[in-house]
Every structure is written in C-alpha cells, then in structure tokens.
Amino acid sequence: MDMQTSFLDRLFESGLLIDTGVDGLYGRSGQFEDVIAAFERLIDQFGGADGAEAIRFPPGMNRAFFETSGYMKSFPQLAGTVHSFCGNELDHMSLLKCMEVGDDWTKDQQATDIVLTPAACYPLYPTVAKRGAISESGALFDLQSYCFRHEPSKDPARQQLFRMREYVCMGSEKHVTDFRQSWMDRGVEMMKAVGLDVTIDVANDPFFGRAGKMLANNQRDQNLKFELLIPITSAAKPTACMSFNYHQDAFGTKWGLNFADGSVVHTACVGFGLERIALALFHTHGLDVKEWPESVRKALWG
C-alpha cells in the first residue's frame, strides 16, 4: 500500500469509517461498532462492581442547563446549538427562494431549547441537584453519550460527533480523588490487557482566549486533569484516549450539590473516548480484527 495513504484514507478504504463529506463526521461499520461494544463490556468488567447508577441522556441537552454550565465562557469555539425554522408560510416561501438562489438560508433559523452535549457529564449535575442532598457515602454514575465539538480535522481521532463513556463521582475530596486514582490505575491495566502502549500525563483544557491561558495554567499546576495517551496519528504526540478530571467543589457550588448538612460536594469524572480507543486498537493491531493477537481478542470477546 502507498506509504502516503493516511490512516483516515485507510479507514475509509477498509469501510471501518464512512466518509460523509464533512471532516470529523463519519459513519461507522458494524465491525467498528463491535469493537466499541466489546471495549464497553471490558469497562463494565472493571467498573461494574462499584454500583454506579447507569443513566443515558440523548446527545442534546437543555439549553438553560448549558447556559448555567458556563461552557460559553470557557469553550465558545467548540459549542454547537440546535436551530430550527419557526416561521409562517410566507417565511417558508422566502426560505425556499433563498435556498434556490444559493443564499444563506440558515440566518433566520431560531435557537431551540436544545444544545448539543459537549461532554457526557454535563446534563448529569443539574439532574442530580434536583434530587436533593448527596449521601455521606457519595454518589456514582455511569454515563455514555455522543458529544459534539466543533473541531473539524483530518485526524480521524478528532471527530465532531463522538462517544464518551464516563463515570462521575460525587462526595468528599478524598472520596472523589481516590475514585480518580483508582480509574487511572484501571485505565493502564485495561489498555495493557488489549495490547496498547500507554502513558499518563498531566493535561489542561483548551480554554478560549487570553484569560483562558490562566485557567489552563491553573488547571495544570493543580493537577486537576490527567490524560491517558496512546499513539494513534503520531508517536511523538500521542492521543488522549481517557481523561481523569477533578473539579474540586466548582460543579458542586455551581449546581448546588450538597451533603445533608449543607456543605458542598466535590466531583470528579473519568472519560473514555470510545472512538479513539477503537482507533488505537485498529492502528496498533491492524485493520483486520481477525488478525489481532489472540490475547487481545480474548480480552475483548472472551
């Protein structure tokens, strides 16, 4: 095969990913999905005994919750909103005319009450806050959602619509930082079981603008975010396939998540980038699953 063929082209040629004409927006083959399903079962094996409450939200969230989250302060460049046509018949006629002559037909679309979910845990905090006080022994949730980020790229590991599996822990500082540490250890163990080379490093989010630089430095200096990295597109710059985030009491304060005595809970979340993990497996072991090492197939399919 031509050495110049990119990993993305090879994924298209093999049919594992399906080109839609938009960078970062792909269809997935049954084989690709089967790898994700198998890896999620492995996640269940590692986390299943913890007694997390499973919740599945759709890939859109309440716009009011999104506004309260402060996402537009930190990552305005990544957000995606859902807009719809809300006009009358006359408006409809001018809409169709507009499309016919190739003008911008989207400019009169109105914002709906739905925003695309930027990270699987975003809809959870207001949902849990509504339930009342958090137990002294803490709370644990198991989430999975398609997430949207407006970051079009030719790198197959950077998609605009991708799935995140998350565990979210709420409780005391010690409780949630222990949770985070245990998943860093499990993450390394899991990836080893499927034959992937990993490193863990401190990280920061890409907060927008000059003020964002300070937020990013602060996050890094305080070890609030770690990533588990696996080489996919580049050996020199491995890709984050999991992240381990400690929010201190920031989300507890924002959403009013409290213990019964009124004190604010701390939160942490651990996210698996499911497409990235599948891509790391295909990149490391080859595009044909039948050719994968026996130990890897055994870990995934028993």
Q: Name the DSSP letter for residue 97.
A: H
| 190 lies in the site for Zn ion, by CB under 5 A | no
For the beta sheet containing 199-202, the strands, ordered from the edge strand earlier in sequence to the opposite edge, are: 53-55, 139-148, 161-171, 266-273, 239-246, 225-230, 199-202
Q: Name the DSSP letter for residue 109.
A: P
Name which of Zn ion, ligand ATP, none residue 240 binds, using a CB cut-off of 5 to 8 Å depending on partner kind: ligand ATP
Please tell me the distance from the alpha carbon of residue 271 to that of residue 264, in angstroms, as a whole number: 23
Please tell me the distance from the alpha carbon of residue 142 to that of residue 270, in angstroms, as a whole number: 10
Contact 160, 148 (CB under 8 A): yes
Name which of Zn ion, ligand ATP, none residue 35 binds, using a CB cut-off of 5 to 8 Å depending on partner kind: none
**Closer to ligand ATP by Cβ: residue 177 or 219:** 219
Q: Which stretch binds Zn ion (CB under 5 A): 62-70, 118-126, 147-155, 278-286?
A: 118-126
Q: With CB under 5 A as the rule, give the number of residues binding Zn ion.
A: 3
Give the interface with ligand ATP as residue ranges (CB under 6 A): 119, 149, 151, 157-159, 162, 164, 205, 227, 240-243, 271, 273, 275-276
| 61 lies in the site for Zn ion, by CB under 5 A | no
Alpha carbons within 13 angstroms on the beta-carbon side of residue 280 total: 26
| Nearest approach, Cβ of residue 124 and ligand ATP (Å) | 14
Q: How many CB atoms are closer than 10 A to CB 269? A: 27
Q: Please select the residue that binds Zn ion; options are 269, 278, 280, 299, rule is CB under 5 A.
A: 269
Q: Name the DSSP letter for residue 199.
A: E
Site string for Zn ion, 121-150 (x = CB under 5 A): x-----------------------------
Name which of ligand ATP, Zn ion, none residue 252 binds, using a CB cut-off of 5 to 8 Å depending on partner kind: none
Phi, psi of 62 (to 5 degrees): -55, 125
**Closer to ligand ATP by Cβ: residue 44 or 151:** 151
- The residues that touch Zn ion, with contacts defined as CB under 5 A, are 119, 121, 269
